[in-house]
A and B are shown apart, each in its own frame.
Chain A
Amino acid sequence: MKKITYAEAISEATCLMMAEDPNVILMGIGMDYSSGVFGTTSEAFRKFGASRVVDTPSMENALTGIAIGSSLVGLKPIVVHARNDFMFLALDQLINVASKWNYMFGGKAGSTPIVNRAIIGRGWGQGATHSQSIQSVLGHFPGLRVVMPSNPADAKGMLLSAWKSQDPVVILEHRSLFNIEGQVESGLAFQDLTSAKIVKKGSDLTIVATSVCVYESLLIAAELDLIGISVEIVDLRSIQPIDHATILASVKKTQRLLIYDTSWVNFGVCAEVAAIVAESGISLKSSIVRLGQLRTPAPVSKPLEDHHYPIPKYVIETIQRIMARDILGTKTIASITQNFTGPY
């Protein structure tokens, strides 16, 4: 075990699998820059060179098809998008081809085990087209695996598992987490791609959260512990498939549910988790509450942007409402993005 950042964890996983498996190649824009996609590809480029760390033209759709085609004859491509918003250009290949290939040829055409790393932006005036979080879009389609690591151990271990997966995998990483440190096992420390995890035990309220929302929920829960509110946090981790059992077990225990996602709440991960709990028939002590981006494109102007995302203070106020309790007096927790200074 050692303490490394989320970005270092991704870099470490990348170098490990490239050393183990000559079929692994990295493809995308800016792979070989000295900045190396926020430090995640530069070490791989230094070690394995331009033939395996391929800086490509701007061509998200065909590139995804090229990655799929190369996987059909044995390569293991990892396509990197510095912002997941650019993946909308890749959705034809990702959804119409990769997610269906194995199924629609009756298993006789092989699978398309490509890995897509894509980074979610938030805050610092990135604006409407560089700050979306597209897990709900991707999670809708059967056949893809969609995961959202919230900590360095998962950032490393889920990438390693994606390498071993025979299915196409999308890993949505969060830019706000890249400098976060955490304990990570050395070597091939795989992490499961399909399950949610309880990252903090509690008894009064369940927060089902994704990605950076898990990180913030942990800070919030630690504060609430001090005043006697015991929060359990489910890190959803995998969007597709979604882990019903872990969610339901937690909600059955706490009977209160807050869902906190990096994207919009409607038609999304929040809506899906709420539906799973509602359909289960578990009796609740209070209504389910969903938190996410304000239902507009992300604005740039700082006051508007601060209002756009549910800052920790707002999450705490929401929990206060759910618990029907006065919990004023907790200290103010700064949002991870509010202190961010770039670069993007």
Chain B
Amino acid sequence: MNTVDKLTDLYIKMLEIRIFEEKVANEYPNGMMKTPTHLGIGQEAVAVGVISERKPSDVIFSHHRCHNHFLAAGGSSFTLFAELLGRIDGCSGGRGGSVHLVDREKNFLGTSPILTQAVALATGAAFAFKHRQERSAAIVFFGDAAFEEGAMWESYNFAALNKLPVLFVCENNLYSTESSLDKRVPPNTSFTQKARAFGITAATCDGNDVQEVAKYSRIALDHIASGAGPYLLECLTYRTREHVGPSFDFDLQRSYRSQEEIKKWMVKCPIVLFGEILKQVYGVSETLLNEIKIQITHKVENAFALANQSQFPSLESSFDNLYSKESLSKK
């Protein structure tokens, strides 16, 4: 694949996620998706930039805002829609909902909405890789509030101590639910400095610039592959929708962040910015980008329509997968 094709592919991936998430936002008020949903609109460049650089054998874990990572890893929009609708064709059979996504064929091993759980899981997968002398790495995405949890530091200490092949990716979007960073950490706090204190190499990059995210991810994954141990990549980004749900905060009169701030970040939209670069630097035509958008929209609409035809799980399947031997669970 030549450079332009590869870059266009990044664009396609980001746009697929955006159009998927906007479809969710549009459908959500209809009440068919009965699952708390954390939209990743605005943060697409982090998922796409990091995952574009992984080897297929590298495994991925994510957190509650995980649609981006699931789709960027190659998860299907049909199974994700079906999951949000609680149907049997959902990626988790309708048991998980928005925050419990998996696609083992894509080495997308799972997600967890309780902060830092996935950080420890990824550290464990990395431990197994190192133990068996395999070349794979574990990649985990989490938000800035994960740095407030104890298991983060337990994991960092263990990962650094054992030089584990794990890439920690922080999506720093400045807010934990509705709490801004300045309410949660002292002034001049640097997450990368904290990680360095544990012996972990760390860097910060513009999380709305997919090329920069990919460049840093390459450096990080090469560092890990060399046996030098874990790496923290902090990506500065922003979610434009509310913490959970389809709306804009300003439409709901929430005051924890201003409409001006949100609008300013919407101008820094990773997809619009990268579209301009594709056109101006790489000579991709406006026509092609429009064509891409039409195709993706069509694909996403079809996926939703198909997912909507999927069945709900039967009540007889209530105890499925609770224990490996089902009969034992019914006691």
Partner of A69, one of B114, B120, B324: B120
Known: A73-B59, A102-B322. Contact between A66 and B104, CB under 8 A? no
Partner of A61, one of B91, B95, B132, B154: B154
Interface size on A, residues (CB 8 A): 46
Contact B92 A92 (CB under 8 A): no
Kindly state the separation between the CA atoms of A167 and B321 in the bound complex, as whole angstroms.
Answer: 10
By size class, the interface of chain B is 35 or more
Contact B120 A75 (CB under 8 A): no
Q: How far is the CB of A134 from chain B (nearest CB, A)?
A: 20
Contact A101 B110 (CB under 8 A): yes
In the complex, whether A337 has a CB less than 8 A from a CB of chain B is no
Residue of B nearest to A67 (CB): B124
In the complex, whether A281 has a CB less than 8 A from a CB of chain B is no
By a CB distance below 8 angstroms, the chain B residues around A242 are 331
Interface residues of B in 128-156 (CB under 8 A from A): 128-129, 131-132, 138, 150-151, 154-155
By a CB distance below 8 angstroms, the chain A residues around B158 are 56-57, 59, 62-63, 66
By a CB distance below 8 angstroms, the chain B residues around A150 are none
Contact A72 B151 (CB under 8 A): no
Instruction: Tell which of A108-116, A258-266, A289-297, A308-316 binds the partner.
Output: A108-116
Contact B93 A108 (CB under 8 A): yes
Contact B161 A106 (CB under 8 A): no
Contact A167 B124 (CB under 8 A): no
Kindly state the separation between the CA atoms of A72 and B126 in the bound complex, as whole angstroms.
Answer: 11
By a CB distance below 8 angstroms, the chain A residues around B119 are 62, 65
Q: How far is the CB of B194 from chain A (nearest CB, A)?
A: 16
Q: How far is the CB of A190 from chain B (nearest CB, A)?
A: 15
In the complex, whether A126 has a CB less than 8 A from a CB of chain B is no
In the complex, whether B213 has a CB less than 8 A from a CB of chain A is no
Interface residues of A in 54-80 (CB under 8 A from B): 56-57, 59, 61-75
Partner of A70, one of B104, B125, B154, B323: B125
Interface residues of A in 102-125 (CB under 8 A from B): 102-111
Kindly state the separation between the CA atoms of A105 and B131 in the bound complex, as whole angstroms.
Answer: 27
In the complex, whether B189 has a CB less than 8 A from a CB of chain A is no
In the complex, whether A166 has a CB less than 8 A from a CB of chain B is yes
Q: Mark A212-249, 1 if CB is under 8 A from B, else 0.
A: 00000000000000000000000000000111100000
Kindly state the separation between the CA atoms of A104 and B98 in the bound complex, as whole angstroms.
Answer: 11
By a CB distance below 8 angstroms, the chain A residues around B230 are none
In the complex, whether A156 has a CB less than 8 A from a CB of chain B is no
Number of contacts between A and B (CB, 8 Å)? 154
In the complex, whether A143 has a CB less than 8 A from a CB of chain B is yes
Known: A102-B322, A106-B93. Contact between A142 and B102, CB under 8 A? no
By a CB distance below 8 angstroms, the chain A residues around B61 are 69
By a CB distance below 8 angstroms, the chain B residues around A332 are none
In the complex, whether A93 has a CB less than 8 A from a CB of chain B is yes
In the complex, whether B52 has a CB less than 8 A from a CB of chain A is no
Residue of B nearest to A145 (CB): B323
Contact A108 B94 (CB under 8 A): no
Contact A106 B95 (CB under 8 A): yes
In the complex, whether A96 has a CB less than 8 A from a CB of chain B is yes
Contact B125 A69 (CB under 8 A): yes
Q: How far is the CB of A60 from chain B (nearest CB, A)?
A: 8
Contact A62 B331 (CB under 8 A): no
Contact A92 B117 (CB under 8 A): yes
Partner of A72, one of B93, B103, B121, B132: B121
Kindly state the separation between the CA atoms of A73 and B90 in the bound complex, as whole angstroms.
Answer: 23
Known: A73-B59, A108-B93, A109-B92. Contact between A57 and B322, CB under 8 A? no
Partner of A109, one of B109, B116, B125, B323: B109
Residue of A nearest to B152 (CB): A62
In the complex, whether A318 has a CB less than 8 A from a CB of chain B is no
Contact A72 B110 (CB under 8 A): yes
Partner of A106, one of B96, B109, B120, B331: B96
8 contacts between A and B (CB under 8 A): A65-B117, A67-B124, A68-B121, A70-B128, A70-B131, A73-B128, A104-B95, A145-B323
- For the complex of A and B, 6 pairs with smallest distance between CB atoms: A106-B93, A69-B124, A65-B120, A62-B154, A69-B121, A66-B124
- Taking beta carbons and an 8 Å cutoff, which residues of A are in contact with B? 25, 51, 56-57, 59, 61-75, 92-93, 96-97, 101-111, 142-143, 145, 165-167, 194, 241-244
Beyond A93-B151, A106-B96, 5 additional contacts (C-beta under 8 Å) are A61-B151, A69-B127, A104-B95, A105-B102, A142-B322
